[in-house]
Amino acid sequence: MATANSTTQEKSTTSQAKNNTQSKAHDAVDKAAEGAHKGVDGAAAAAENGQERIEAVAHQISEQAHQIADTARQQSEKVSSAVGTYAKENPLKTVGFAFLAGAVAASLLCKRK
């Protein structure tokens, strides 16, 4: 009977040790999973923050590009209007300038060959 009791106690001790080991293993896995989740959540938050910053900068650049284009268009219209007005007021000078510019361009092109 003493042998049966000691065998039962050994089985009980072994079973408790096994349960203890399993419990510790589960705890370790749970802690590792929790750490991994925190890491993934942090990376996702950082990626989202970075994407929001990039979108904000892209929007800002787009707005600046539109403003520059509008300014350039307005300046071009002013210059075109001024040249048109000058050409109407001074037609002979305009023809003379055009002839002179053509002659200079032709002479530069002929010297290159």
- Non-local CB neighbours of 87 within 8 Å, separated by 6+ positions: 94
**What one-letter code names the amino acid at 46?**
A
Q: What is the mean pLDDT of the chain?
A: 84
- Report the pLDDT value the prediction gives residue 21, as an integer from 0 to 100: 80
pTM of the model: 0.47
- Residue 8 or residue 106, greater confidence: 106
Task: Dump pLDDT digits (tens) for 3-51.
Answer: 656 666 666 777 787 777 888 877 877 787 788 778 887 877 877 788 8
**% the chain with pLDDT above 90:** 42
